[in-house]
Amino acid sequence: MSEPRSPFPTAVERESQVQPGVWVIPPPRPRWWLYGLFFLLTLFSTMVVGARMQFYFQHHQSVFTLNDDSLSLFPILWIAENPARLLMGLPFSLTLMFILFAHEMGHYLYARHYRVYATPPFFVPFPSLIGTLGAFIRIKSSIPSRAALFDIGIAGPIAGFIPASAALLYGLSLSHRIASSTASEIQLGYPLAFEFARHLLRIKAPLSTLSLHPIAAAAWVGMFATALNLLPGGQLDGGHIIFSISPRMHRSVSLLTVIALVPLGKYMWTGWFIWAVLLALTIRHPRVPRYPEVSGGRRLLALCGLLILILSFTPAPFTHSSGRDVWPEIRDGSRDTLHDLRDGVRHLLHRK
């Protein structure tokens, strides 16, 4: 009798069959030349702005002044007249770039630790009062767990807050009083960290009367950026932290943050309206696997993140720029524009 044939293929038969292939798609190679180019462009734009700040600091004026016609907001022509002036912007530029770089590298290194594909830090130059729109990284693969999401989310604010605090103490110790005859259109609002540093350094003069050294100005910008990223909602760093701790709370906390930003925009700073819209548009958070969860020391670290938010948050970063202050100017300006258009139309009709 022949032996019964097994319904399962033997080892020899399995080897002869064509096995399905497994395709491993490697992540795309980052275009380092592009990241390097924008890093250099941002370094240049912040140096131009930093040179302007250094000029005003040396003349005992507010470094954020706008009511002096001698220099424009982005004084590129002033720099072109004497290129050596660009070196005056190094203290502000290097300090701010290092704070932003530390923040983004905190995210990037923890993403690499968890084998999450993330782009290198991308810096955004912009000819504005501070010379940049900041920096960011993009995460292009799934995050393996809530614990990983928490670590990646909180690493940036902590990594950026530490050098910002060091720059604050050093820069504030170099600051001096504004000349009594000068006044700036832009008055800064200061977070609690600045008040604590002023008392620690035993500076008796109010912060509003000081001409900040450009290094201290960079610390102010760095802390402002840290506070914006830690807003508890959407897909900001604060939103990632909330979602990693409790996904059910994320939507409710995000909605409460959006609601809270509306009165802040009306009574403190109109920019909060923009952030309320951005949070509302990104209120839905991508799903993240539950385990391992956030527990133990990570929950204590979340309190550290809350403390950083409290120390760096400024309800009115620029005074006299609330919705109540700005809206009458916009309304009056729109009326004048309408009157000019109406007069122009009447003039054309009469000519005909």
Can you read off the two tokens belonging to residue 240?
A: 């990632």
Q: Which of 136, 160, 158, 129 minimizes the C-alpha distance to 46?
A: 129
Where do we find the tokens 């022509």?
77
Q: DSSP letters of 214-279? A: HHHHHHHHHHHHHHHHT-SSTTSHHHHHHHHH-HHHHHHHHHHHHHHHHHHHHHTBTHHHHHHHHH
CA 346 to chain centroid: 48
pLDDT in single tens digits along all 352 residues of the chain:
444 454 545 555 545 555 555 555 566 777 889 999 999 999 999 999 999 999 999 999 999 988 777 788 899 999 999 999 999 999 999 999 999 999 999 999 999 999 999 999 999 999 999 999 999 999 999 999 999 999 999 999 999 999 999 999 999 999 999 986 566 667 899 999 999 999 999 999 999 999 999 999 999 999 999 999 999 999 999 999 999 999 999 999 999 999 999 999 999 999 999 999 999 999 999 999 988 889 888 989 999 999 999 999 999 998 877 877 777 655 554 454 445 455 555 554 555 4
pTM of the model: 0.86
- Is 101 within 8 Å of 39 (Cβ atoms)? no
- Is 128 within 8 Å of 74 (Cβ atoms)? yes
Give per-residue burial for 112-137: e unless 16+ CB within 10 Å, then b.
Answer: eebebebbbbbbebbeebbbbebbbb
